[in-house]
Chain A
Amino acid sequence: MTTTTTTEAVEATLERYGRMTAGALGEFLDRLRPSAPGLAELVADYPSRGGKAIRPALVMATCQAFGGSPRDAIGPAVSIEMLHNAFLIHDDVEDASELRRGQSTLHRLHGIPLAVNAGDALAMLAMQPLRDDGVLGSRLQHRVVTEYLAMAQRTVEGQARELEWRRDNVLDRTPEDYLELIGAKTCWYTTIYPLRVGALIGSRGAADLGSLSRFGFYLGAAFQIRDDLLDLVGVTADTGKEPLGDLREGKRTLMLLHLVRHASPEDRRWVVDTLGAESRSATEVAELAALMERYGSIDFATEYGQGIADAARRSFSDAFGNVPPSPHRQFLRDMVDYMLDRRG
């Protein structure tokens, strides 16, 4: 199969999982409408903008690859999609972002108080689809909830750490520190948790979650590094975000940490001062990007991400080695290339 047809097949499957999730999510959120129509409209906004549904797809495909059915996994799939959208709303407020999936962010449309409340609502309601409805049974449900709670705690801890770094203008961190940061704040809820929960449900608790977690971490970390690089070199039409938005926000990326460690003392002082300011002008942001190019920070992150991407590809066979061939297993394998070779 050629790369183009593989991409098309992955996107078609993602769309199918996305529709399943959106249908169940819409039905779930409809229950809010009679009592809180205004809130229901806000919480349904980001999910209706058509994200890629990577997390629910990983939950359901992994569940199916391990022998389960999508019906078993639809609750956790809806739940993680809700939590993801809650994080997006709050992230946009924290970062003062203007665009999300090509449209104005929720707080730009409705103001910060209503947006924060909508994010709170989504985050709290995200637990509801995990309630035992007789599909999983109490033992599996308990394990899924345990996974969920640990994942949620880890994610907010990671997010807090990054915000603290930004508040205190912490820049003297190593690539390993960066990996720990994104492992907590992004990878766990984007790839590790969906894989673990999907496998737990599909195998009725028998799967080896360690190898799945390692694969999920490599995949999630390479995905995040790629995402950060796309912010520097991608275009708005592909990413749906403002170009150089990470630099404007002062987000701690692998490129930024590399730049601080390798710039001349004079340039380093300027970078630290610029990042420590409340905001950055377009000229300063462009200068930061130019310095990253000059000091090889973009090349470094590209090679670093490539190494982890290769590890993700290699570790797939450890994670799914005992899983029989199926369209779901193949989809998950194809997802690796899809996530790591994407342009937007």
Chain B
Amino acid sequence: MNERPTPFDISRRAVEQATDVIGRLLQAFDVRAGTEPLDRAARHRSDGDAPVAQMRDAVGRAVDLYLDLFQRTFDVYIDTVERALRGRSTTPSDGSGGDTFTLSATGGQPLVAGELFVHNFSGATAGPVAVRITDLTAHDGSVIRGDRARLEPPSIDALDHAATAPVAVTLDLTAVRPGTYHGHALFGDSAIPIRVEVR
């Protein structure tokens, strides 16, 4: 008699099948991504002189391993240098990976808004810290005063290492002349350049 499987049987079978499937997918992925060592023995199987082919395989594999070890050591060294050069600080950004926070406004627009993301790379909890916007100056001497920026929240609570906090920036552009204005957002000892383009 064909008994109906219990919910437990169905669940157990599901996990077994899922485990088999992901195993096969990962194996296929490794081959496709080229992360699996080449089967050198198979490549030389048709060679007439099997012992020589085997010797060549062994030497080739050993050379590959040493080259790989050298490559990894070099990569780790390069990563360490890169990280050291990048420094460790609380760094604000616009979330796009760029270094300047840019706001763009057109034709008599009274307000312009954007969101600034503060990333804490200091290795420790940072803050709480107040956020300030400096006066923004254009090349012709026009100035947008920093107190025309509304910040939400006005200060950042304690931020864990590697954590991020968003700050909404709204800038009043009433009677502001067209031009490109430059200034900074200040977070304690850290700062990010701000560019406001008014067209």
Contact = CB atoms under 8 A, between A and B. Distances in A.
Interface of A: 16, 19-20, 23-24, 27-28, 64, 67-71, 74-75, 133, 135, 137, 139-140, 146-147, 150, 153-154, 175-176, 179-180, 183-184, 188, 204-205, 210, 213-214, 217-218, 221, 296, 299-300, 303-308, 310-311, 326-328
B26 A204 contact: no
Contact of A307 (B12, B91, B162): B12
A147 B119 contact: no
Contact of A71 (B7, B10, B78, B119): B119
Contacts of A306: 7, 11
A81 to B, nearest CB: 13
B97 interface: yes
Interface residues of B, number: 42
Nearest to A17: B164
Given A24-B95, A74-B95, A326-B160, 4 more contacts: A71-B95, A214-B26, A308-B18, A310-B15
Contact of A304 (B11, B115, B119): B11
Contacts of B96: 23-24, 27-28, 74
B14 interface: yes
Contact of A153 (B15, B32, B115, B160): B32
A304 B25 contact: no
Contacts, number: 132
A64 B162 contact: yes
A306 B8 CA distance: 10
B146 interface: no
Q: Mostly helix, strand, loop or mixed at chain B's interface?
A: helix
Given A74-B95, A75-B97, A221 B160 contact: no
Nearest to A139: B75
A213 B160 contact: no
A217 B162 contact: no
Interface string B18-32: 111110111001001
Contacts of A184: 25
B160 A327 contact: yes
A150 B32 contact: yes
Nearest to B79: A204
A28 B102 CA distance: 13
B33 interface: yes
A310 B15 CA distance: 9
B127 interface: no
B78 A139 contact: yes
A268 B160 CA distance: 58
A221 B22 CA distance: 10
B163 interface: yes
Given A137-B79, A176-B21, A74 B29 contact: no
B82 A20 contact: no
Contacts of B119: 69-71
Contact of B97 (A74, A310, A311): A74
B193 interface: no
B95 A69 contact: no
Nearest to A215: B22
Nearest to B82: A137
B166 interface: yes
B121 interface: yes
Q: Which 3 A-B pairs have the closest CB atoms?
A: A307-B11, A307-B14, A24-B96
A71 B119 CA distance: 8
A296 B6 CA distance: 12
A61 B22 CA distance: 23
Nearest to B164: A70
Interface in B46-78: 75, 78
